[in-house]
Structure 1
Amino acid sequence: MGKININRVPLQPSIRQPITTKQVTSPKQSFLQHLHEATVKTELKVSKHANQRLAERNIHISDAEWQLVSEKVAEARSKGVNDSLVLMDQAALIVSAKNATVITAMDRTEAKNQLFTNIDGTIVLN
């Protein structure tokens, strides 16, 4: 009797997938990425209520001052602050650091007689 050749045929066609390499990040790189993401400048938003209070109370804050407030709020957020009182020369702002949003605003003379609750940080700017 002769030799019988048996060819094995796969039941399902083989699908070749391209070999991909995942970028492996070291713990140091991962930390630096997270640090960068946490410190990326987030533009401070002003709520409708706060915008109305700024207009009603004739409070004018320059772009440079807004930038400083934004930077300090980001710094406070990185330290775990959720809601902060920001004291400026001309105004007092309640800011949600967590949401990067100004919640309300008042002028400094009005702020002198106020009791501020539900804040866990204060930023004093001069």
Structure 2
Amino acid sequence: MLVGHLAASRPGPVQGRRTYPASSDGGTAAVSESEKSFRTLLEEARLKFSHHAAQRLEQRGIRFQPEQLDRIASAIDQAEAKGAKDSLVLYRDVAMIVNVPNRTVVTALDGTSMREHVFTQIDSAVVVG
């Protein structure tokens, strides 16, 4: 179980549903307000998540709040200023491998998954305080 500001459980009840266009063929899909806002945050963030990383976060029940994403993005700014290319970013009980020039989280692991795990092909590590 993750501790701190990270949610390890499923979100509470959805406050309402809206219909948003799902495809160019005119189809629609019901998307909750919370799902839409989280998607919007990810799209607007100074940080991107690869498909693989997004799947890992979802599988492990890890969700970041906007201020947490800002702190992680600021840590990546610091790594970039030092010339980092591929960084291990540690935030609370989550480890992420980030491609710094593309500002993309390539993969993510929670505390349980990173035990006895060897991280390779990184040139730096950033601990987010």
Tell me the distance in 2 between the aligned counterparts of 1:59 and 1:96: 20
Q: Tell me if structure 2 keeps the 8 A contact 1:44–1:70.
A: yes
Of 56, 60, 65, which residue of structure 1 is paired with 2:63? 60
Output the aligned Cα RMSD: 1.3
Q: Which runs of 4 or more aligned residues in structure 1 lie more than 3 Å from their structure 2 counterparts after TM superposition?
A: none
TM-score, normalised with respect to structure 2 = 0.62
More strand by share: 2
CA shift at 1:108, angstroms? Answer: 1.6
CA shift at 1:90, angstroms? Answer: 2.5
Structure 1: where are the runs of 5+ without partners?
Answer: 1-41
TM-score, normalised with respect to structure 1 = 0.64
Q: Tell me if structure 1 keeps the 8 A contact 2:75–2:128.
A: no
- 1:99 aligned partner: 102
Q: Tell me if structure 2 keeps the 8 A contact 1:59–1:90.
A: no
Partner secondary structure for residue 85 of structure 1: strand
1:77 partnered with 2:80: yes
How many aligned positions are there? 85
Tell me the distance in 1 between the aligned counterparts of 2:103 and 2:81: 12
- 1:122 aligned partner: 125
